[in-house]
Amino acid sequence: GFQNDMVEAVEGFVATERPAVVRIWQGPGGEPQEQGTRQVVGAKLRRVRRLTEHQTNFLKEHAPGPVKMTVPSPSQFPAISYQTGVTEEFYPTRSDLLWELASIIKSEINALVNDGVAYIQIDAPRYSYYVDSKWRQHLRDLGEDPDKMFDEAVAADNLCLEGVQRPDLTVALHVCRGNNESKWYAEGGYEPIAEKLFGSLAVDRFLLEYDTDRAGTFEPLRFVPSDKMVVLGLVSSKEARLESQDELLRRIDEASRYVPVERLALSPQCGFASTAAGNLLTEEEQWRKLELVVETARKVWG
């Protein structure tokens, strides 16, 4: 999964018998399932190697063009790897852990910039907590203030990007609501976070899930500043059903009421395999989805 880079490159994560947070995953393939990571922070964190250097070197050697690398948002791990009775000995609060992680991820992003990577994306699924009333209540039950945590998450992502610039560099942030064996754990439109998230984050583009009603309407895109792009995640990476191009064209047209079409783009809603198990699609079905994205993008943007 996308978060393994951190666990494998940084000492301080330990395996526990019970997960720090249990999430209810909903979707196809049976009843909702309870799952959670058992990799929790059980010592002071110490980076022992780069998070993505081995991947970057491989891509630079084999890719025919510019490459894109992703890193997890610092807000990922205080949400799922902070275990009461274990982590607080080393990080008294989730906030303390957040800023430690931000320092590690900032260092990795700076290294990627120096490597000449053309496109750097922060994967930030935890923002979905702040659009879903049940997750906001979960945070309150932990004694946390969800609004304060959201503000800190934005500040931590911005710290990771502080001073990051290069004329040919694109920096992006992706928000999702869970993507594991075609299941999800959160739902809700972007309205509760849109003004602050879109207006404050120091990124060039936002990659946003918009493949189902769980993501709400396009109306929150009115808060996207005029110098930023929105990549519409209209093509599901969870479902095998192939969307029609007419359906995609209609939805792009709807979104263009809030963001001009020249600042829009198209992509799958998330990865086909955010976790090792992947989603309930065959490789052939995944290729058809990617081909549809390319064909539709060429039709709209040339």
In single-letter form, the type of residue at position 156 comes to: A
DSSP for 197-237, written as a single string = HHHH---SEEEEE-SSGGG--SGGGGGS-TT-EEEEEEE-S
Would you kindly state where each structural domain of the chain is located, as residue ranges? 4-301
DSSP 3-state of 27: coil
- CA gap 220, 202 in Å, rounded: 18
Nearest one of 102, 96, 52 to 76, comparing CA atoms: 102
Of 39-43, 57-61, 98-102, 114-118, which has the strongest mean pLDDT?
98-102
Structure pTM?
A: 0.91
Q: What is the pLDDT of residue 178?
A: 66
CATH of domain 4-301: 3.20.20.210
Could you give the percent of the chain with pLDDT greater than 90? 60
Contact 217, 175 (CB under 8 A): no
Burial category of 215 from C-beta neighbours within 10 Å (exposed 0-12, middle 13-18, buried 19 and up): buried
Choice between 141 and 199, residue whose per-residue pLDDT is larger: 199
